[in-house]
Structure 1
């Protein structure tokens, strides 16, 4: 198992597309999480209400860096995490290298396990980089704007980090599953991003405002509303139009874990049982 994992990690490490997606995540966090607040505060300090300025300062302070890294801005970051899953599992279909590798070994289950371990490692590493980026940005903000330099409790940071990893792995697993179903990365992107930005980001937001309780309850079974609920329950904001499911942190985490395990389980069954040659 060590050899296949090492091989998959080497392919991931040398993929410029993979790390470009990671850099985009950091850029989105810097621009949307910190740069935009700085810009608004510098452009119109005389016209902004004092409460608004104070909310900007609280978001930029080191005490809020974990919440910023966790959820801001959720919809775009989660879409990029979906792209990671497609890249790691689906890019080899276009090059026909997956079929060649399955013909000569190792076993299909081993290949899937190695890809999954590398996917988990890449996701956790990128989430860690998001938290480091948010911490560095908040420290610079504190020094520049003379904000209180107080860090959040270690337990709160660990909880936010675990929640961010769970959400990221869920969306990356969704991308991996679609790439295995369609055996073509382009179709996986089309289907997945349509679902994320049309249904989760738009349709579910409209349904959440419906007077029919049954329709509002329906959204509680999807990953987007549960991701937003988990972020909100931990004090973060997502900048997404998706309405949060009316649920606690534990229930939201369980729903996301079920989606993640189901996506990986179905994906493994597809790769093991279907003729890829």
Structure 2
């Protein structure tokens, strides 16, 4: 990859980024170790436990991105890189795609997914904390996160960082689990998340940190709907809107950074 993006990751101390929210421990050491342990099983379990609907959700998110030639895109909390790869496949060849995550084991899997002679080949996967992104202000035309914002210790700081590195006039997009509002479905969904998913996930992943017990706990404590939209507005975004998917099991949130996007520099247009 070439372009204006620095590749030097900046990390926060574990003490600075530790947090317990609503009884859910989202401290950096706990979350990083948990994802390190489940990394080899992460994709298979996501597809199995969501009945492959997670792929549809990412497709819907990418469709909503207003990608322009010449400006880079950042996918934070990229995990094993599925959203970053989907963005690269849609974007113009002049668009540099970067995926960042603070879990090295997940990034190794993302890097292995890159294919020669495919848009994914040029993705940079960088180790970085989403609470202290190692990029200059006003760098990316779109900044995204899929199923990762609820794992960031300080949600508001994560949103402010996404907004900071977004270009004026650019998009910030969040794809995240949410709580269905439909009576009956909400109760069935809650039962599945609390009782079925942890047992299946634990059996397949053999994870002694109870990653699939953490999932329903973190979703249950995380703001969704208008509450998360308000947090995005407080982070400095305009025209924040949200679109429930699959009866509200997941939701796409979109906001725009104030200002007008500059024309791409010639170095970006000619990067490839």
Q: TM-score, normalised by structure 1?
A: 0.28
Which structure has more helix as a fraction of its residues?
A: 1
Point out the structure with max Rg over C-alpha.
1
Determine which structure has greater relative contact order: mean sequence separation of CA pairs < 8 Å that are 6+ residues apart, divided by chain length.
1
